[in-house]
Amino acid sequence: MEDYPSRSYKRATGCGNLYIHIAFEPEELRKIAFIRISGTGGEADCNNSFCECLADMTTFAITHIRTYDSEMQQIIKNLRGHICGKKIPNRLGITSCSDALGHVLNEIYKENEKEETKKKT
């Protein structure tokens, strides 16, 4: 099996800490290969199937993008802003598990934008 460069992000949610693992295509580090999400146990365990589904559906959407900028922004927009009943205040303003994933993807998107801008100059 091929090794994928990856990064992990820890985000606090109402269900506990959520760990979002993003793997990138080896030949094109800007391109996301797949996403995995895991919790810390406890209450997060009840949401494992939801988080696995969220990761799979988001991976499917991202890997089928034809127009990176507009479609990636739309995916991020659709993930963000959902409010969980277990919402906890935090410094990032994360309101749910899907919002946490949206935050991470937005962070990656902005980093990619900066890299593309540097390449053009």
Pair 40, 20: CB distance under 8 Å: no
Average pLDDT value for residue range 103-113: 93
Is residue 41 scored above 80 in pLDDT?
Answer: no
Reported as type and span, the H/E element at residue 100 is helix 97-120
User: Is residue 80 classed as helix, strand or coil in its secondary structure?
Assistant: coil
When pLDDT is cut at 50, 70 and 90, the band that residue 109 belongs to is very high
The pLDDT, as a whole number, for residue 81 is: 87
Per-residue pLDDT band at 12 (split at 50, 70, 90): confident
- Using the predicted structure, report yes or no on whether residue 90 has a pLDDT greater than 90: no
pLDDT at residue 48 above 80? no
Residue 114 pLDDT > 50: yes
> Rounded mean pLDDT of 98-121?
89
Token duo for residue 112: 């990619």
DSSP collapsed to 3 states, 21-68: EEEEECCEEEEEEEEEEEECCHHHHHHHHHHHHHHHHHHHHHHCCCCH
Q: Where are the domains of the chain?
A: 6-116
Across 86-103, average pLDDT: 82
Indicate the DSSP class of residue 66: S
